[in-house]
């Protein structure tokens, strides 16, 4: 049977991993190539690279780096950040990405998901949604969580899945950065609303949060996190050992 | 040299990189003259069966692949490339494959128990029953992404994986090999399978 996936996410600005990490044995803690290799050799089931560059030069640097990363890691690679057009899909897929994650680009142009899915297949299109509670409702936020779109999240996510999004990354703004655990209530609502894989993001602070996620919500397929992996608070091989001890199927 | 058959379907970047990572030269090409020089071939593929089968025929590479394999050259079909080795696919209509292996490709939809999601996407475990390609891969986790699978291929079946029902994971017959999973995306286990292929 299919395993639960553990996915580290790396933010890249101007070709460097933002904040870096503190792993021993890594010469350059801000090198996307070194970090990508480190994670792929240390239990990550998939990697997400997120381009947070604003400039055109930075974007060019990102695609160069991406090509190098893709040539050195042999696990699935998802790329996001600044994906607004089919040309953006094409650009990162040619660099060796397996899946492309869209967020604000899909909000600006809701046809993007449908067109990309038709061209590259559903499995290639990942909807990333930043969601926050507003007035008792789950609301979709744009622009890195800064702008309330006014759209109800479940309807938005369902619409994108109907249009061909093959996977959903649900990032709860309410729990993001708090390290008090994933947003189980929001995740339950989303995983009941769609029948494609749902990836939990936002809020993991310790191994127990992943155990609780998969035990409480067996429908959730994967857990994604950034800083707790980068700063070694949670080591993926150890996390997977803990998950296995708790009866959760993982690739070890 | 490994010849990766480029008939206009899918992204062959990772496949080329993965052979280079194990120290093998790989050429991605649609030119039969280039591919004929390879000592083994890889038939890749993602997307829809009908579209891929049409492109393979339109490029004339279907005949080339058949000639080369008939002459004994080892060939590995990956994902849709494996499915193309069979007689036919029932993916949105009935479409003819290369007919190099007995069997047909059918939808998971309606055949899986319970609430299992389609596509079958993620890491799943190989249960190897026979064959040369996967001789060291029994119990290994490999990466799958597909919604259709091969059945009626018992004669060539070499491995299955459990997704509510046994799903054909790999086939082999003489010099023909096929993986439903992506060895180029399956970490160390996948690279090891590609290394074995290069030594067959």
Q: Report pLDDT for A218.
A: 95
Domain-embedded: residue A212: yes
For residue A147, what is the enclosing H or E element? strand A147-152
Give the whole-angstrom CA distance, residue A195 versus residue A191: 7
Answer yes or no: is A183 within a domain: yes
B145 contacts in A (CB within 8 Å)?
123
Average pLDDT over residues A53-76: 88
SS3 labels along A45-70? CCEEEEECCCCHHHHHHHHHHHHHHH
For residue A151, the 8-state DSSP code is: E
CATH code of residue B53: 3.40.50.880
Output the average pLDDT for chain B.
Answer: 95
Q: Lowest-pLDDT range, A236-245, B6-15, B94-103?
A: B6-15
Percent of chain B's residues with pLDDT above 90: 90
Q: Is A248 exposed, middle or buried (0-12, 13-18, 19+ CB in 10 A)?
A: middle
Closest chain A residue to the Cα of B162, Cα to Cα: A1
- Give bridge partners of residue A171 from the DSSP assignment: A130, A201
A149's tokens: 């779109």
> Which of residues 106 through 135 in chain A touch B, CB cutoff 8 A?
121-123
Percent of chain B exceeding pLDDT 70 equals: 100
A90 interface with B at CB cutoff 8 Å:
no
Beta-carbon contacts of B23 under 8 Å, excluding residues fewer than 6 positions away, are none
Percentage of chain A lying above the pLDDT 70 cut? 96
DSSP bridge pairs for A127: A102, A168
Cβ distance A123 to B123 less than 8 Å, yes or no, reads no
Instruction: Decide if A96 and B186 are in contact by the 8 Å CB cutoff.
Output: no
Nearest-neighbour CA in chain A from B60: distance (Å): 24
A11: annotated active-site residue? yes
CA dihedral B108, B114, B117, B118 (to 10 degrees): 10
Q: Characterize the bridge pairing of strands A16-17 and B26-29.
A: unpaired
Token pair of A29, please?
């803690």
| Residue A233 covered by a domain | yes
Residue A46: CATH number of its domain: 3.20.20.70
ipTM entry: 0.91
Q: Return the residue matching tokens 């009626």.
A: B152
Q: Which two tokens stand for residue A200?
A: 């939990």
A162 included as an active-site residue? no
d(CA B23, CA B198): 10
Mean pLDDT value across residues B1-22: 90
Q: Where are the beta strands (DSSP E) in chain A?
A: 5-13, 16-17, 47-51, 77-80, 99-102, 125-134, 137-142, 147-152, 167-172, 198-201, 222-225
Q: How far apart are CA A125 and CA A140, in angstroms?
A: 18
> A245 phi and psi, to 5 degrees?
-60, -25
SS (H, E, C) B72-125: CCCEEEECHHHHCCEEEECCCCCEECCCCEEEEEEECCCCCCCCCCCCEEEEEE
pLDDT at site B92: 86
Query: For the segment B53-79, what is each residue's pLDDT rounded down to a tens digit?
Result: 999 999 999 999 999 999 999 999 999
A with B: how many residue pairs have Cβ under 8 Å apart? 79
Question: Is residue A88 in a domain?
Answer: yes
Phi, psi of A168, rounded to the nearest 5 degrees? -125, 125
Report whether pLDDT(A19) > 70: no
Chain-chain contact of A221 with B119 (C-beta, under 8 angstroms)? no
pLDDT at residue number A24: 64
Residue A252 forms part of a structural domain:
no
User: Which domain, by its residues, includes B119?
Assistant: 2-199
How high is the mean pLDDT of chain A? 92
Q: Is the Cβ of A71 closer than 8 Å to some Cβ of chain B? A: yes
* Residue B75 CA: distances (Å) to CA of A20, B23, B103, B114, B178: 43, 19, 18, 36, 8
Give catalytic residues of B, as residue numbers. Answer: 79, 182, 184
Nearest by CB to residue A76, choosing from B47, B117, B185, is B185
* Residue range A184-222, pLDDT digits in tens: 999 999 999 999 999 999 999 999 999 999 999 999 999
Q: Which of B121, B162, B185 sits opposite A75 (nearest CB)?
A: B185
| Contact assessment for residue B168 and residue B184, using Cβ atoms and an 8 Å cutoff | no
Say whether pLDDT at B10 is over 90: no
B-side interface with A, Cβ within 8 Å?
11, 13-14, 17-18, 20-21, 46-47, 115, 117, 119-125, 141, 143-145, 162-164, 184-188, 190-191
**Domain containing A61: what range?**
5-245
* Number of independent structural domains in chain A: 1
Considering only CB atoms, A76 lies closest to which of B117, B141, B143, namely B143
Local structure of residue A2 (DSSP, 8 states):
P
How many angstroms from the chain centroid is the CA of residue A11?
Answer: 10
Assigned domain for A250 exists: no
Higher model confidence: residue A67 or residue A28?
A67
Closest Cβ–Cβ partner in A41, A94, A121 for B46: A121
pTM (two decimals): 0.94
Q: How confident is the model at residue A154 (pLDDT cuts 50, 70, 90)?
A: very high
Q: What are phi and psi of A10, to 5 degrees?
A: -115, 125
Residues of A in contact with B119 (CB under 8 A): 122-123, 166
């Amino acid at each position: 049977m299919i395993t639960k996936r553990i996915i580290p996410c790396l933010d890249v600005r101007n070709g460097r991993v933002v904040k870096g990490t503190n792993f021993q044995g890594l010469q350059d803690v801000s090198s996307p190539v070194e970090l990508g290799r480190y994670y792929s050799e240390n239990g990550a089931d998939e990697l997400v690279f997120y381009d947070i560059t604003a400039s055109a030069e930075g974007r060019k640097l990102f695609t160069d780096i991406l090509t190098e990363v893709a040539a050195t890691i042999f696990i699935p690679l998802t790329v996001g950040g600044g994906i607004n057009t089919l040309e953006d899909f094409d650009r990162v897929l040619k660099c060796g990405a397996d899946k492309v994650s869209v967020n604000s680009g899909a909000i600006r142009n809701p046809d993007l998901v449908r067109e990309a899915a038709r061209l590259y297949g559903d499995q290639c299109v990942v909807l990333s949604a930043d969601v926050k509670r507003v007035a008792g409702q789950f609301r979709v936020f744009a622009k890195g969580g800064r702008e309330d779109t006014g759209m109800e999240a479940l309807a938005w996510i369902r619409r994108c899945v109907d249009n061909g999004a093959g996977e959903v990354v649900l990032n709860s703004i309410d729990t993001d950065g708090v390290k008090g655990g994933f947003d189980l209530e929001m995740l339950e609502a989303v995983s009941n609303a769609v029948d494609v894989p749902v990836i939990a993001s936002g809020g993991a602070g310790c191994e127990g949060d992943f155990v609780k996620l998969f035990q409480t919500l067996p429908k959730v397929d994967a857990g994604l996190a950034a800083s707790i992996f980068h700063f070694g608070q949670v080591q993926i091989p150890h996390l997977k050992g803990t998950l296995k001890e708790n009866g959760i199927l993982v690739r070890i | 040299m490994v010849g990766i058959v480029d008939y206009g379907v899918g992204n062959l970047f990772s496949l080329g990189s993965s052979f280079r990572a194990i120290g093998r030269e790989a050429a991605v090409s649609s030119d039969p003259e280039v591919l004929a020089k390879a000592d083994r071939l890889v038939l890749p593929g993602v997307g829809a069966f009908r579209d891929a089968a049409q492109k393979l025929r339109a490029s004339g590479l279907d005949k080339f692949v058949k000639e080369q394999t008939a002459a004994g050259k080892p060939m590995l079909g990956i994902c849709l490339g494996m499915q193309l080795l069979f007689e036919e696919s029932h993916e949105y209509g009935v479409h003819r494959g290369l007919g190099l292996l007995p069997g047909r490709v059918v939808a998971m939809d309606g055949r899986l128990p319970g609430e299992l999601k389609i596509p079958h996407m993620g890491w799943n475990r190989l249960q190897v029953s026979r064959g040369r390609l996967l001789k060291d891969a029994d119990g290994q986790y490999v990466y799958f992404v597909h919604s259709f699978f091969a059945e009626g291929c018992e004669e060539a079946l070499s491995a299955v994986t459990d997704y509510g029902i046994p799903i054909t994971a790999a086939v082999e017959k003489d010099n023909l090999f096929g993986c439903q999973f992506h060895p180029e995306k399956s970490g160390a286990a996948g690279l090891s399978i590609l290394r074995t292929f290069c030594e067959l």
